[in-house]
């Protein structure tokens, strides 16, 4: 014998699954905030009054490509020969300052690219 749930017994429709964590954002709104204004997922969630997971879910669902957290190195713009030449002429510390990176970053980059 199955039990009859209270809400079903009094005629209220019973939903299944998890309760919603916020309203479904529109594709145009997400496109404007995320792509055009370059806002973060957390900022968008705060603006729309929902959770960040909801925003992330709908970005994926609408096919809007999310940004990665990783930043590409400035040093990839230069060829390995250019970097080596700059270090030989100006020294590691001076050339790193000129490029706007830390000296250890420049050294590490040269070691990795050498492989």
pLDDT, tens digit, 9 for 90 and up, residues 59-108: 999 999 998 876 777 888 899 999 999 999 999 999 999 999 899 999 99
- The answer on pLDDT for 43 being more than 80 is yes
DSSP-H helix ranges across 1-115: 6-9, 27-30, 41-48, 52-62, 80-90, 92-99, 103-114
CB neighbours of 23 closer than 8 A, spacing ≥ 6?
48, 49, 50
Query: Does residue 13 lie within any of the structural domains?
Result: no
Q: For the chain, what is the domain count?
A: 2
Q: Are residues 32 and 64 in the same domain?
A: yes
- How far is it, in rounded angstroms, from Cα 101 to Cα 115? 21
Query: Does residue 108 lie within any of the structural domains?
Result: yes
Query: Do the beta carbons of residue 78 and residue 106 sit within 8 Å?
Result: no
Q: Locate 82 and state its tokens.
A: 């250019």
Q: Are residues 63 and 78 in the same domain?
A: no
Query: Does residue 1 lie within any of the structural domains?
Result: no
Domain carrying residue 87? 74-114
Tell if the pTM clears 0.85, that is, is over it: no
Query: Does residue 38 lie within any of the structural domains?
Result: yes
């Amino acid at each position: 014998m199955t039990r009859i749930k209270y809400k079903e017994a009094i005629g209220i429709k019973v939903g299944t699954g998890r309760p919603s964590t916020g309203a479904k954002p529109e594709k145009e709104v997400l496109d404007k905030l995320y792509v055009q204004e370059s806002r973060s997922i957390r900022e968008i969630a705060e603006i729309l009054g929902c959770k960040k997971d909801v925003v992330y879910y709908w970005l994926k669902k609408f096919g809007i490509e999310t940004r990665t957290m990783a930043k590409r190195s400035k040093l990839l713009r230069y060829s390995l020969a250019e970097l080596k030449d700059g270090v030989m002429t100006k020294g590691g510390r001076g050339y790193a300052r000129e490029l706007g990176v830390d000296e250890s970053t420049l050294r590490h980059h040269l070691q990795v690219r050498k492989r």
